[in-house]
Chains A and B, each alone.
Chain A
Amino acid sequence: MAATDTKEKIAALGEKYKYGFVTDIEMERAPKGLSEDTVAFISAKKGEPEWLLEWRLGAYKRWREMKEPNWARVHYPKIDYEDAYYYAAPKTAEKPKSLDEVDPKLLETYKKLGIPLHEQMALAGVAVDAVFDSVSVATTFKENLNKAGVIFCPMSEAVRDHPELVRKYLGSVVPVNDNFFATLNSAVFSDGTFVYVPKGVRCPMELSTYFRINASETGQFERTLIIADEGSYVSYLEGCTAPKRDENQLHAAVVELIALDGAEIKYSTVQNWYPGDEEGKGGIYNFVTKRGDCRGKNSKISWTQVETGSAITWKYPSCILRGDNSQGEFYSIAIANHFQQADTGTKMIHLGKNTRSRIISKGISAGQAQATYRGLVSVHPKSENARNHTQCDSLLIGGKCGAHTVPYIESRNRSARIEHEATTSKIADDQLFYCTSRGIPQEEAVALIVNGFCREVLQQLPMEFAVEAQKLVGISLEGSVG
């Protein structure tokens, strides 16, 4: 497979944080702070219909009454929501119709990030939507996808061109009042990706979105909605980077997946937001709600995530197994080094009969970092014959970090079979010595051993990305031993 270009793009993800640069481009922002006016400003900027503005304002009202959750094992100073911008976009008159019209500075930015938006991506069989701060700046290969009937476009465009689909599904998996961050997102979401795969269609290429935070003091609130109609299949990958800044920036995204009868969605994430420096200064707060609804019979949703960045990660990609015989999977690698904090896991909600879920979580802590796996497996009374298998492994590097496992199990049907295995280990001295005595330098040895530890999860990534994700694993652990 001619995947070298794709590889390069993730290879870029895999070098020491080198996306710390800032693109100097004129920005248009909403006034600082959050109010009904801010919400209306964003909605107007996007030329949204009345119903969506109402929807946003409803969310805003709810959010005002909500409290920030504090149950996660993460600690951070109080966020001042009035001291941030909620909308920032490169100042170009109009969304460019083709890549040739895209501001060269933006193309340059994505090139630096290792994401060439031009033809090369076709060779790799990957279509890309690039989101820069609050707006989508380019979407590639729309035509190819159109031929197959697949809709892959920025959310703002979907609102305009496919309002019936958006209206039907938006908020149907993550309701407006779901949780503090999701509700905030519902009020101020800026852009994100929309995907619809029609009945019986196997999406002909990997779809991927690149999220880039550039502007300072600005939160990113993207919204992704993926609908796989009956018997269809789609594989989607998102990648994320942000500049190095001393301040903490908020990223509160919502992702909703809907799989109808017999459909399958594979959603992969390589998250490499700026993690802060070695002393714990700066970095992204990644407070994200991701949920998939296996709405149809025999449907399947699979989450794979490689989480190496962010100062704080608060994220629980979940599956609602509503359709009979539906399947949910969660494969996760979460690496926390230096002062990073990761509280991540999944929820598998078994509603239908013969539903199956599988959880494989690999948590790696190094430096003074704390990694927590938090998972819920819930079997409802009508869910006959539900099956879950959870494997939760933690690896510690050095003596100052911590790993925690918090599994919640609620079974209200006696036919359910739930298995939970958990291990905690350290990289043993003799393993390191074995590697170094064969010529492998210490840091590479750590990367090799950790990649071995994560193997079952790495294997779930689309082939083009797996090799480079391995590199990323190594890089994010630099300086963790010796």
Chain B
Amino acid sequence: MLEIKDLHVAVDGKEILKGLSLSVQAGQVHAIMGPNGSGKSTLSYVLAGRDGYEITSGSITYKGEDLTAMKPEERAAKGIFLALQYPVEIPGVPTLTFLKTALNSQRRARGESEIDALGMLKLVREKAKSLGVKEEMLKRALNVGFSGGEKKRLEILQMALFEPGLAILDETDSGLDIDALKVVAEGVNALRDPSRAMLVITHYQRLLNYIVPDRIHVLAKGRIVAEGGKELAHELEAKGYAEILKETA
């Protein structure tokens, strides 16, 4: 489903990803762990197509298509979703309006019919309820004044709404209390599907107790330096990155 080969990425002329390769099959959930500054968010931005992240060599294909030439909105319409580590505030734009605009833009790009206001309200309400997002929040300006946890829930709500083919969650668990973590994990698990792949970036093994990954990759200094099954998370938790990096060096 997602195939990354020998990817090199530079930001402002500085190389951040240095030959990263990764392959995720449909139906699988992969976790990416790694020290601060190792390039995890950079990888997620590159996948979503953010400006300023220059691919100097290597390739990314999604469902066999070259992703690198597509604009972010084209990728979104093709089913790529990135839950941001730091969701952005947009003053004056009601959350519901944003959700509606985004979903209908994606549908339009795919040649599907748009959902009308009423249909959208029903759809969003239903998802909001299952994720414990208060209706009152949907009327407020997007992410403005939302608590850290509320912002993260809203990211997952969007994932549930867009039903992406590849979901990338960048530290969605950071800043969540234990109950919220469970709700978010349930939301993610509910979307697990043979046709869908997920890339879960996290620092904590705790999340992986709820979202059990098929595979764990350790990213350090712009490269995948270790890989393993779900037990790798326990090992990392016990030993820390330094130890693992030494072992793999």
Contacts and interface: CB of A to CB of B under 8 A. Distances in A.
Contact of A434 (B88, B97, B101): B88
A430 interface: yes
A453 B90 CA distance: 9
A449 B162 CA distance: 21
Interface string B107-135: 00100000000000000000000000000
B76 A437 contact: yes
A439 interface: yes
A434 B84 contact: yes
Given A434-B84, A438-B76, A439-B76, 18 more contacts: A433-B48, A433-B88, A434-B88, A434-B90, A435-B102, A437-B50, A438-B98, A438-B105, A438-B106, A439-B106, A440-B101, A440-B105, A442-B73, A448-B93, A449-B90, A452-B90, A452-B92, A452-B93
Interface size range of chain B in the complex: 20 to 34
Contacts of A453: 91-92
B111 to A, nearest CB: 14
Nearest to B78: A439
Contacts of B172: none
A433 B51 CA distance: 8
Contacts of A442: 71, 73
B77 interface: yes
Interface in B62-91: 71-73, 75-77, 81-82, 84, 87-91
The 6 closest A-B pairs by CB, nearest first: A452-B92, A439-B76, A452-B93, A439-B106, A455-B92, A436-B72
B105 A431 contact: no
Contacts of A164: none
A439 B77 contact: yes
Contacts of A429: 51-52
Contacts of B98: 435, 438, 448
Contact of B91 (A439, A441, A444, A452): A452
A202 B159 CA distance: 49
B73 A441 contact: yes
A214 interface: no
B49 interface: yes
A433 B46 CA distance: 12
A133 B142 CA distance: 44
B237 to A, nearest CB: 31
B32 to A, nearest CB: 18
A439 B158 CA distance: 11
Contacts of B88: 428, 430-431, 433-434
18 contacts: A431-B90, A433-B48, A433-B72, A436-B49, A436-B73, A437-B49, A437-B50, A437-B72, A437-B73, A437-B82, A438-B102, A439-B76, A439-B103, A439-B162, A442-B71, A442-B73, A448-B97, A453-B92
Nearest to A470: B97
A197 interface: no
Nearest to A456: B92
A438 B162 CA distance: 9
Contacts of B97: 448
Interface residues of A, number: 23
A454 B162 contact: no
A268 interface: no
A186 interface: no
Contact of B87 (A434, A448, A455): A434
Contacts of B76: 436-439
B104 to A, nearest CB: 9
A232 interface: no
Contacts of A431: 88-90
A272 to B, nearest CB: 22
Contacts of A451: 92-93
A128 B142 CA distance: 38
A451 B15 CA distance: 37
Contacts of A438: 76, 81, 98, 102, 105-106, 158, 162
A57 B106 CA distance: 62
Nearest to A459: B92
B160 interface: no
Nearest to A428: B88
B50 A439 contact: no
Contacts of B4: none
Given A442-B73, A444-B101, A452 B106 contact: no
B61 to A, nearest CB: 19
A429 B141 CA distance: 18
Given A429-B51, A440-B101, A452 B73 contact: no
A444 B105 contact: yes
A455 B97 CA distance: 12
Given A441-B73, A442-B73, A449-B90, A433 B101 contact: no
Nearest to A440: B105
Contacts of B48: 433, 437
Nearest to A441: B73
Contacts of B103: 439
Nearest to B84: A434
B71 A436 contact: yes
